[in-house]
Amino acid sequence: MSEPLRLSKRMAELGLCSRREADEYIAKGWVKVDGVVVDQLGSKVLPEQRITLDRQAHAAQANRVTVLINKPVGYVSGQAEDGYKPASVLVVPENHWIDDPSGIRFAPGHIKGLAPAGRLDIDSVGLLVLTQDGRVAKQLIGENSVVEKEYLVRVEGKLSDSDLRLLNFGLSLDGEKLKPARVHWQNEDQLRFILTEGKKRQIRRMCELVGLKVTGLKRVRIGNIMLGNIPTGQWRYLGPTERF
């Protein structure tokens, strides 16, 4: 027999929304199980039961925005720490990229609840995603995420062919073997890394293990979304038809 699961957890597993959003929708009576409204938090369902969202939940999701920032050095990805400001403070009208192709107009409500979908170290630059949409966060940083992240990494030191192979596969961090990566020379002092995971300071620590020192790190792509020409410190919206 199938074991019952919390409704909010099952909704997140199905990619309908995040668990936090699921609790919000349940409390508002926007969730049906096998056609019946379920509005009690903590309710459980069987895996085979059909879960649907009310049109009001779909409308709420449609109004949530995702922001792409070209993060400069000196900003942290999430909450302020050690006197450094979070990158979210950059999401103000004066920093909105004038060539934003999304067609979305800025509204004050777009700032509320923006959370980073992935880290970018304080001394790293490039593409950082902030989102109000739990579905986007789950896709990018969920336990089973396979979305690629691409980086240009400037390094100092010598790298043998065998150590380059190790960067591609064979290293471990925190007692766990790293997933296969794609690493190759971009030019004489810069490597291109493509990863599908994001351990804390992963690239810098990988480079240390093979005797390299990272002197610059820039994220240029997440999935299908490129950093492109967004100026440093500016941002744009993820467009309605764009997908990671």
Per-residue pLDDT reduced to its tens digit, 89-100: 999 999 999 999
The residue that leads in pLDDT, 199 or 222, is 222
Residue pLDDT, tens place only, 169-213:
999 999 999 999 999 999 999 999 999 998 889 999 999 999 999
* pLDDT the model gives residue 17: 83
Closest CA to 45 of 8, 15, 12, 1: 8
Report whether pLDDT(80) > 80.
no
Q: Looking at the domain 149-222, which fold is it?
A: Pseudouridine synthase (3.30.2350)
Same fold, 5-62 and 149-222: no
Cβ atoms 162, 174 nearer than 8 A: no
Structural domain boundaries of the chain? 5-62, 66-144+225-237, 149-222
Average pLDDT, the chain: 93
CA atoms within 13 A on the CB side of 71: 32
- Amino acid of residue 39: D
Which of 39, 54, 100, 121 is an active site residue?
A: 121
Residue pLDDT, tens place only, 129-182:
999 998 898 889 887 889 999 999 999 999 999 999 999 999 999 999 999 999
* pLDDT the model gives residue 1: 58
**The domain 5-62: what is its CATH number?**
3.10.290.10
121 is known as an active-site residue: yes
- Domain 66-144+225-237 maps to which CATH number in 3.30.70.580, 3.30.450.20, 3.30.420.270, 3.40.190.10? 3.30.70.580
Cβ atoms 220, 154 nearer than 8 A: no
